[in-house]
């Protein structure tokens, strides 16, 4: 029988008792493991009495907080799958996602409940709302008034296929998709975090992703919810983020590279070493060597930095420690060999297949790429999700059946080296097929990013209206460093010279400067190349 993550938490709560489980950095609110379990029991009993049953999908629209963790645990105890959607994805995407899920219940802050009243069409399946906050009674009673130390609520015992949550992708390469998370997926993720990254009682976490506070609590570790907007990690206030790390003696932190880019610069500018931190995990986008070096400089000498690789549909699947990345792989990355993201985690299988833009019903030997050949990355393991919710077409595109199991197509391209390390070369959708061959984003951009005045670059493909369908003209778009003094024309000339010296980029003839790349909301790091391609098209071929 698959364990419910709430059951793991109950066990941790019994062991940890009055030790602090969650701290809100902004409000300084604290709650012990015993109290957190008690509040979750009270919420579970309240929702159950109000008609919420196992299998009933509940939309959870509550900010990162003690309440968010309590409510999540309560719904897990009941067996009610929760829906988590990034509010920063924009109203249009948000409403589309809600309508596709069709939740039966809504638990939200007053603003979210009011939102549901205004956009009734998207919320038409919602039978009852629960307001988590004071609305002066206009939106219903404040359910927080029901908090207390309740009688232990029996934890729902899920089967292998019982749904625990629906988590949406960022939509960086298409419309956001709702990923089905069974309880077994959360259980497998919890095991990997505990065993591979050695997280447990005695640790203090400061997660940049709200849901990871739940994992910490289930492992018996304390979680400090930082004073930041998780939908805008690049806008984190480094002073506040660092202050809570030092005040609460945080031992590990998992977050977007966008957070650590800001925090590391702040610490170096102010001579700060984060002495309590033993582990920093950065994920969600490729992590440059320069950032790894900066983060290592602000940590104790024996601290570790990890860059787990994965996706909403499968996380984590591969990992590498920062020292190995800097010392043993980054020289090759700078030469356009891709980014080494590490070795498969225990129980994870990785394969490289020939690139395809069509559904693949099964895996055959003929589909496997040769050793060292760049191809499409596929993965199998117990942290790999099985399907998207109410989206059979995308499920067929993303999954390859293999007996009773399936492989997940990461949507990324890369290769395995002789040491069985995985090298990431970009998104499948971001490759540019030209008349002379195929260009991959990460290798090409690495050549250009070596210029000291280039913050980042993006390879895109455009049409001239003449070449045949499927063939693109490559363009390299450059975002300069914010404080650069170099003239734009001079920068372009120097970048062109650099590109001409590499066999990867020497056939690229078009270069543009864009001062502020459009990026994804969740990580503030994934470049929206589709938007840049449209912009570049208008710049180079304005009439076509």
Q: Is 234 helix (H, G, I), strand (E, B) or coil?
A: helix
Main-chain phi, psi angles of 214, to 5 degrees: -65, -45
Q: Does domain 431-540 have CATH number 3.30.300.30?
A: yes
Q: Do domains 5-182+213-224 and 307-364+376-426 have the same CATH topology?
A: no
Token couple for 420: 């069985």
pLDDT at 172: 63
Residue ranges of the chain whose pLDDT lies below 70: 1-2, 88, 147-149, 171-173, 467, 521-524, 544
pLDDT at 381: 96
Considering only CA atoms, which of 362, 358, 369, 351 is closest in space to residue 406? 362
Token couple for 110: 């007053």
What are the Cα distances from residue 70, in Å, to 127, 357, 510?
22, 42, 53
DSSP 271: T
Superfamily of domain 5-182+213-224: ANL, N-terminal domain (3.40.50.12780)
pLDDT at 129: 98
The residues spanned by each domain of the chain are 5-182+213-224, 307-364+376-426, 431-540
pLDDT at 374: 98
CATH number for the domain whose boundaries are 307-364+376-426: 2.30.38.10
Asked if residue 186 lies in contact with residue 3, where contact means CB atoms within 8 angstroms, the answer is no
């Amino acid at each position: 029988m698959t364990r419910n993550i709430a059951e793991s938490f109950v066990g941790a709560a019994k062991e940890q008792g009055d030790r602090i489980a969650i701290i809100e950095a902004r409000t300084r609110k604290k709650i012990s493991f015993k109290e957190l379990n008690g509040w979750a029991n009270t919420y579970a009993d309240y929702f159950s009495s109000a008609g919420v049953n196992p299998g009933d999908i509940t939309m959870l629209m509550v900010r990162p907080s003690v309440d968010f963790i309590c409510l999540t645990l309560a719904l897990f105890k009941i067996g009610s799958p929760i829906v988590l959607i990034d509010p920063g994805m924009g109203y249009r995407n948000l409403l589309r996602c809600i309508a596709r899920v069709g939740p039966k219940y809504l638990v939200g802050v007053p603003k979210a409940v009011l939102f549901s009243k205004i956009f009734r069409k998207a919320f038409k399946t919602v039978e009852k709302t629960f307001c988590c906050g004071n609305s002066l009674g206009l939106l219903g009673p404040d359910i927080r008034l029901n908090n207390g130390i309740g009688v232990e609520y029996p934890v729902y015992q899920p089967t292998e296929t019982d749904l625990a949550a629906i988590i949406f992708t960022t939509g960086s390469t298409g419309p956001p998709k709702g990923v089905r998370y069974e309880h077994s997926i959360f259980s497998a993720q919890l095991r990997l975090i505990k065993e591979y990254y050695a997280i447990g009682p005695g640790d203090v976490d400061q997660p940049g992703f709200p849901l990871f506070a739940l994992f910490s609590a289930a492992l018996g570790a304390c979680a400090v919810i930082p004073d930041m907007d998780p939908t805008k990690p690049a806008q984190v206030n480094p002073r506040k983020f660092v202050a809570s790390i030092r005040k609460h003696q945080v031992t590990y932190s998992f977050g977007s590279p966008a957070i650590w880019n800001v925090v590391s610069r702040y610490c170096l500018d102010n001579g700060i070493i984060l002495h309590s931190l033993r582990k920093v995990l950065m994920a969600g986008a490729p992590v440059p060597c320069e950032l790894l070096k900066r983060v290592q400089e602000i940590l104790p000498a024996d601290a570790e930095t990890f860059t787990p690789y994965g996706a909403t549909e499968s996380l984590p699947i591969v990992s590498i420690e920062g020292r190995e990345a800097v010392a043993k792989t980054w020289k090759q990355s700078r030469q356009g060999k891709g980014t080494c993201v590490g070795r498969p985690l225990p129980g994870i299988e990785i394969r490289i297949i020939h690139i395809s833009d069509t559904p693949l019903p099964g895996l055959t030997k003929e589909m496997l790429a040769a050793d060292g050949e760049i191809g499409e990355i596929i993965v199998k393991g117990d942290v790999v999700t099985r399907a998207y919710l109410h989206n059979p077409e995308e499920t067929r595109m993303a999954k390859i059946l293999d007996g009773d199991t399936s492989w997940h197509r990461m949507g990324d391209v890369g290769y395995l080296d002789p040491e069985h390390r995985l090298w990431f070369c970009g998104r499948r959708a971001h490759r540019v097929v030209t008349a002379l061959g195929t260009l991959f984003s990460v290798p090409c951009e690495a050549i250009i990013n070596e210029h000291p005045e280039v913050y980042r670059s993006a390879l895109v493909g455009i049409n001239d209206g003449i070449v045949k369908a499927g063939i693109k003209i490559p363009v390299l778009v450059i975002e300069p460093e914010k404080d650069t003094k170099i003239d734009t024309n001079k920068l372009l000339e120097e970048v062109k010279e650099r590109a001409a010296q590499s066999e990867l980029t020497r056939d690229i003839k078009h270069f543009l400067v864009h001062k502020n790349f459009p990026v994804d909301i969740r990580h503030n790091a994934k470049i929206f190349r589709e938007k840049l391609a449209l912009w570049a098209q208008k710049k180079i071929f304005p009439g076509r």
